[in-house]
Structure 1
Amino acid sequence: MTTPTLAAALFTAAQSHAIDAQAMQILGVDSPTLMARAADAAFRALRRRWPEARRIVVLCGPGNNGADGYLLALRAREEGLPSRVVAVVPPATEGARAAHDRFVKGGGDVSARLDLGGADVLVDALLGTGLSRPPGDAMAEAIDAINAAGLPVLAVDIPSGLSADTGTTAGRCVRADATVTFIAHKRGMFTQDAADHVGVLELASLGADDRVIADQRPSAILMQPQALPRRPRQSNKGQYGHVLAIGGDHGTGGAVLMCASAALRVGAGLVSVATRAENIVALHAARPELMPRAADGPQSLEQPLEKASVLAVGPGLGQGSWGHALWLTALDAGKPMVLDADGLNMLAKYPRRFTAPTILTPHPGEAGRLLGCDTRDIQADRFAAAAAIAGKYQAVVVLKGTGSIVAAPDGRLQVCPWGNPGMASGGMGDILTGVIAGLLGQHAEDPFAAACLGTSVHARAGDLAATGGEIGLAATDLLDTLRAVLNGVDHA
């Protein structure tokens, strides 16, 4: 396993506090010095992003996040920029009180009155990574004022109201245009509600390097751009997997077509389709490279299953007797498999633990059914939910959504930073199933790696396809951009 770096490693709030302490020890600095470095990094980010800004209002809370805010305001004053502080709650920690006093002694203006008038930029230094409950009345009022001001907002370390662990918002949350986080990334800033609150994210190391995380196992890893290696000139289709896509009940032939087409587009050597007889002509017309055959029951799957190296089960499968019979036959074959859609819904009804390499790709609703809980429970902690499904079924899990999470039964977690709202449209999940199945056929020995690569490629292809606009993006638009991403020509 590659040693994680500060750029890719993600940590919980508790781990981040331990990393801060380790950084001080390695760097040979005390807490006030580290806070000063944080304030300086945040101020420099503010100046880069809004170079024309002259008047800054910093909203400070009672803890060390507030201390960073006081010191940022002091730095701004030292640079000749009028700045003032709104102390929403008086400083309560030693660090916050010391920073408050330094700002005041430097001629700074501190007021408890929530007055944001005259500002060019607002700085959110209200609440740090230790948030464990909804913001109180004063904080909630301040957050509402920030969001209603219509001004650029810089968040210090994390937008106030956002959970560093889960990416959920506890009541109110600041909507920042940019966030400067310190030393190490917090995992909650890459999933769930974070996308609507973090803005442009910048990591400021404050002089630290990878040594500060040597004693901490990352809670998760942030996916990095990948492309498949160039193929040997001496290649044949048998080297790159034979995917069998199973699905397409009455009226849903398009789902299995999209799945199979995506498997082709990511390099599967051969792709077969087992589906209703009524879909065969349409499949031949739409994608002549596919090899469809009518499946009217378990016996008709015997020959296709024997030839296939990887199965993609679920797109358009339905939960009727036809779908259930094919689903059961496919699972009993013991082949490497990607399971999606109604394949997951039937797994929730008839649970089993997998021994062959298996990848499950639930959206939050399907994930809730797999764990026997509500969708809200899944979204409350997506990291825990993905890990729980992986453990329960002994399969790799791709929990889809904003900041998709890939979990392995051994506890590994990766988070996808790509994707866009235009991908919230029918058929995107079918494309993802085909992408992962096609890659699993080429990397069947490592389903976790195949799931991570497939998730990232799918999301990046969606971003590339959305360059002309997110609204109206169709799932089949990704069939062209998938090739660009996998061949490393998308400039990601």
Structure 2
Amino acid sequence: MPEIKPTPCARLPYALYRAEQVRALDRCAIERHGIPAAELMRRAGTAAFALLRERWPHARRIAVLAGSGNNGGDGYVVGAAALAAGCDVRLLQLGDHAQLSDASAAAAADFSARGGVPEPYRSLPVDVDVIVDGLLGTGLAREVAGRYAEAIDAVNAARAPVLALDIPSGLDADTGAILGTAVRAAATISFIGLKRGLFTARGPACCGAIRFDGLGVPPAIYATEVLSARRIDWQKERELIPRRPRDAHKGTAGHVLVVGGAPGTTGAVRLAGEAALRTGAGLVSIATHPAHAGLLNLTRPELMVQAVSDPDDLANAAARADVVAIGPGLGQDDWGRGLFDAALGLGRPLVVDADGLNLLARQPVRRDDWVLTPHPGEAARLLGCAVRDVEQDRFAAVEALQRRFGGVVVLKGAGTLIAGPGQRPVAVCSDGNPAMASGGMGDALTGIIAALAGQGLGLEQAASAGVCAHAAAADLAAAGADRGLLAGDVIAALPRLFVPKRIEFE
């Protein structure tokens, strides 16, 4: 077989799979295309060690934790490559290594032939530069316990950075939930197919930087599996948004109406309205409580503010609107409930957030022309379950919400999910950062999605592009910080996302 050099891919694929699907892809490469399992393991370990050297070029003391599955076999290959590079390697075994697969046994024999000395795991050495996690792979189906749990806790307590092989041990590859305890890696290298759990729930926190290597398998194998989910990011979504023509004017750029802002919550509608403007809406109107309507646009005069004391007044406010965003600061008293009921009858596409979702949970309605944007707590109320149930399987939750309420559902959180009607797989946004954990971010997202829908994007496209624009603007504004980011900072960064490529005239 010709030599195949693993080539870790910095640009991640967009196709995401369940763990069982990746195992099927692996079998297809072995059985239909004649690539021995030991060769795939060699390529995986070689790619992993190349990434280790790239990220930590001065590391010389390497600890490899190897379980008894193929993930441990990859660890043996990494250990052998590290020995060949002159590193000091401690390879610590967990599980029954007398029952290794043929490929893993061959990798273990090669490690020993190079002078490596495997040893049973008793404790983690403290004098190491990098820890390689090869304990548990994608087949984990129950909570981690016993010595494996002890080892994972020791890894997380260590000062050395961690490189996870294929997936951090203890992380559910399908859902991103933690099964008891999980390794918190600085970097994860995933093989053959990206697992969808890497990108949502606890996946981003556990994986660190994600790298992918296809191990040189034939592209034809991917035709044997239908992707389970799809990764989206601003780089791709931006290409789907048409460039604005040179003769555009405010009347062709969409009119968004934002409804909400009970007394004491004026900031929510202000943030949503300003986000809509910064995303390119030509006109933004605010329908809000009379108690403060006259004050709202003192600091943002571009917003057109109308006092709405009675639900019947909403029809006039919405007469020229292309899309209505309802919920930010709406409240759940008679005023808020009346406006919500009135908005349902306006005959306009809706973007529903915050108290709009809480009111919907009380009186469920299904319709096709809306985008719902719950965070996990709101999603739990809509589904009548606990928040932990939503977070244990975010994919199942967003799909259940879409089936129950129709339209497009955006389940916010680390790795925001978007589910729309039809057969398209759930989308997972891979942009964003932990500095977004502050108040007002959801209000900004509501305005962004509404603005894109008002400019002519379909609701599912507006939701996907809006989620990615929101996250990408946050990445720009945070500039690497992991806290201290305000929703206003994100809103201010939005126009920078829409700078068109320069056109040279001859």
> TM-score with structure 2 length normalisation?
0.92
CA distance in 2, matches of 1:206, 1:63: 19
After TM superposition, give the deviation of residue 293 of structure 1 in Å: 1.0
Contact 1:436 1:451 in 2 (8 A): yes
1:261 Cα deviation from its structure 2 partner: 1.0
Partner of 2:398: 386
Question: Hey, what's the Cα distance between the residues in 1 that align with 2:451 and 2:218?
Answer: 38
Separation (CA, whole Å) in 1 of partners of 2:283 and 2:318: 13
Pairwise CA distance, 1:420: 2.0
Counterpart among 76, 79, 84 of residue 73 in structure 1 = 79
Q: Which moved more, 1:398-407 or 1:284-293?
A: 284-293
Looking at structure 1, the residues matched to 480 and 141 of structure 2 have their Cα atoms a distance apart, in angstroms, of: 40
CA contact (8 A) 1:88 1:114 kept: no
Displacement of 1:97: 2.7
Q: Alpha-carbon deviation of 1:245? A: 0.6
2:197 is aligned with 1:208: no
- The 5 A counterparts of 1:218-237 are 218-224=227-233, 225=235, 226-227=237-238, 228-237=241-250
Q: Which residue of 2 aligns with 1:307?
A: 320
* Cα distance in 2 for residues equivalent to 1:232 and 1:223: 26
Matching residue within 15, 25, 35 for 1:9: 15
* Greater CA drift, 318-327 or 84-93: 84-93
From 454, 459, 471, give the equivalent of 1:441: 454
Distance in 2 separating the partners of 1:396 and 1:278: 33
The answer (yes or no) to whether the contact 2:76–2:111 under 8 Å persists in 1 is yes
Residue of structure 1 in register with 2:6 after alignment: none
Residues 352-367 of structure 1 mapped to structure 2, 5 A cutoff: 352-355=365-368, 357-367=369-379
In 2, the alpha carbon distance for the partners of 1:164 and 1:472 equals 31
Q: Any idea what SS the aligned residue of 2:65 has?
A: strand
- Deviations 1:126-152, CA, capped at 9 Å, x for gaps: 000111111230111111222222112
- Return the match for 1:82 from 71, 79, 88: 88
Query: Matches of 1:145 and 1:187 in 2, distance apart?
Result: 27
1:147 counterpart = 2:156: yes
Residue 98 in 1 paired to residue 106 in 2? Answer: yes
Q: 298-307 vs 205-214, which deviates more?
A: 205-214
- Give the gaps of 5 or more residues in structure 2: 1-10, 502-506
Offset at residue 280 of structure 1 (A): 2.2
Shift of 1:273: 1.2
State how far apart, in whole Å, the 2-side matches of 1:15 and 1:279 are: 55
Q: What SS is found at the alignment partner of 1:174?
A: coil
| Distance in 1, Cα, partners of 2:301 & 2:180 | 52
One-letter identity of the residue aligned with 2:160: L
- The superposition leaves residues 423-463 of structure 1 with CA deviations (integer Å, 9 ceiling, x where unpaired) of 2111111111000000111134x211110100011111112
AA at the equivalent of 2:495: R
* Deviations 1:249-283 (CA, angstroms, capped at 9, x unpaired): 11212211111111111011111111112222222
Q: 2:34 aligns with which of 22, 28, 53?
A: 28
Residues 279 and 38 of structure 1, relative CA distance in 2, 3 Å threshold: same
Q: Does 1:474 align with 2:481?
A: no
- For the 8 Å contact 1:241–1:438, the answer to whether it is kept is yes
Tell me whether 1:316 sits opposite 2:329 in the alignment. Answer: yes
1:114 positional shift: 2.5
Kindly provide the CA deviation profile for residues 210-240 of structure 1, in whole angstroms up to 9, marking residues without a partner as x. Answer: 4332222211111132434431112222222
Instruction: Give yes or no for the alignment of 1:59 onto 2:65.
Output: yes
Instruction: Give the partner amino acid of 2:143.
Output: P
Provide the residue aligned with 2:3 in structure 1.
none
Q: Is contact 1:6–1:209 with CA below 8 Å preserved after alignment?
A: no
Structure 1 residues 423-434: aligned runs within 5 Å: 423-434=436-447
More divergent stretch after superposition (124-133 vs 25-34): 25-34
1:396 partner letter: V
Q: Which shows bigger deviation, 318-327 or 462-471? A: 462-471
- What are the Cα deviations for residues 48-86 of structure 1, in whole angstroms up to 9, with x where unaligned? 111112222211101110111112212222333232311
Q: Does 1:46 align with 2:52?
A: yes
Pair 1:368 & 2:380 matched:
yes
Q: Deviations over 1:289-323 (max 9, x none)?
A: 12111111122112222211100000111111111
Count of aligned residue pairs for this structure pair: 483
The 1:154/1:173 distance shift into structure 2, 3 A limit, reads same
The alpha carbon displacement at 1:488 in A equals 5.8
Please list, as runs of the form range in 1=range in 2, the aligned pairs for 1:73-472 lying within 5 A after superposition.
73-91=79-97, 92-94=99-101, 95-117=103-125, 118-208=127-217, 210-224=219-233, 225=235, 226-227=237-238, 228-355=241-368, 357-411=369-423, 412-444=425-457, 446-467=458-479, 469-472=481-484
| 3-state SS in 2 of match to 1:28 | coil
3-state SS in 2 of match to 1:319: coil
- 1:28 CA drift (Å): 3.1
SS in 2 for 1:293: strand
For the residues of structure 1 that align with 2:270 and 2:62, how far apart are their CA atoms?
A: 55
The Cα shift of 1:115 comes to 4.3
In structure 2, how many angstroms separate the alpha carbons of the residues matched to 1:414 and 1:331?
A: 27
Kept in 2, the 8 Å contact 1:6–1:213? The answer is no
State whether residues 56 and 120 of structure 1, in contact with CA within 8 Å, keep that contact through their aligned partners in structure 2.
yes
* Greater CA drift, 165-174 or 21-30: 21-30
Q: TM-score, normalization: structure 1?
A: 0.94
In structure 2, what residue type is equivalent to 1:483? P
SS of residue in 2 equivalent to 1:109 = coil
Identity, in percent, stands at 48
Counterpart amino acid of residue 51 in structure 1 = P
Deviation at 1:468, TM superposition (A): 7.1
Partner Cα separation in structure 2 for residue 148 and residue 302 of structure 1 = 59
Cα 1:210/1:454, change in 2 over 3 Å: farther
User: Whole-Å Cα distance in 1 between the matches of residues 494 and 329 of structure 2?
Assistant: 22
Superposed displacement of residue 22, structure 1 = 2.5
Task: Report if the CA contact (8 A) 1:6-1:210 is conserved.
Answer: no
CA distance in 2, matches of 1:209, 1:431: 43
Q: CA deviation at 1:397?
A: 0.8
SS of match in other structure, 1:306: coil
d(CA) in 1 for partners of 2:96, 2:332: 59
